[in-house]
Structure 1
Amino acid sequence: MNKSVDNYFMEGCGRCPLGGTPECKVHTWTSELELLRKIVLTCGLTEESKWGVPCYTFQNKNILMVSALKEYCSIGFFKGSLLSDDKNLLVKPGPNSQAVRLFKFKSSNEIITIEDDIRAYIFESIEVEKAGLKIQFKKNPEPIPEEFDAKLEKDPILKTAFEALTPGRQRGYILYFSQPKQSKTRISRIEKCEPMILSGIGLHDHYKSMKK
Structure 2
Amino acid sequence: METNSDKKHVWDKVNQWEEELLFLKAIIDKTELVETIKWGGPIYVYNKKNVIGIGGFKNYFAIWFINGVFLKDEKKRLINAQEDKTKSMRQWRFTSKEEVNEKEVLEYILEAIENEKEGKVIKPSKKETIVSELLEKEMLQNPALKDAFEKFTPYKQYEFLEYIESAKQEKTKLARIEKVIPMILGNIGLNDKYR
What TM-score results when the alignment is normalised by the length of structure 1? 0.52
Cross-structure match for 2:50 = 62
Identity of aligned residues (%): 33
Runs of at least 5 residues in structure 2 that lack an aligned partner in the other structure: 126-152, 156-195
Counterpart of 2:64, as a letter, is: G
Note the aligned Cα RMSD (angstroms): 2.7
> What residue identity is the alignment partner of 2:106?
R
Deviation for aligned residue 1:37: 0.9
Q: Which has the larger radius of gyration?
A: 2
SS at match of 1:57: strand
- Higher RCO, 1 or 2 (CA under 8 Å, sep at least 6)? 1
SS of equivalent residue, structure 1 residue 118: helix
Dislocated runs of 4+, deviation >6 Å: none
Secondary structure in structure 2 of the residue aligned to 1:37 = helix
SS of 2:121 mapped into structure 1 = coil
CA contact (8 A) 1:90 1:103 kept: yes
Gaps of 5+ in 1: 1-15, 141-212
- Indicate the residue corresponding to 1:101 in structure 2: 90
Which digits, 9 at most, give the CA deviation of each residue in 1:108-167, with x for residues without a partner? 0001xx210100110000110111112256559xxxxxxxxxxxxxxxxxxxxxxxxxxx
Q: In structure 2, what is the Cα distance between the partners aligned to 1:121 and 1:61?
A: 17
1:129–1:34 distance in 2 versus 1, CA, 3 Å:
same
Q: Counterpart of 1:34?
A: 22
What letter matches 2:75 in structure 1? K
Deviation at 1:27, TM superposition (A): 2.5
Please give the residue correspondences for 1:64-143 in structure 2 after superposition, counting only pairs within 5 Å.
64-96=52-84, 97-111=86-100, 114-135=101-122, 138=153
**Count of aligned pairs between the two proteins:** 122
For normalisation by structure 2, the TM-score amounts to 0.56
Change (3 A) 1:65 1:24: closer
Aligned 8 A contact 1:56 1:62 in 2: yes
Q: Is the 8 A contact 2:15 2:57 kept in 1?
A: no
Give the drift of 1:30.
Answer: 1.6
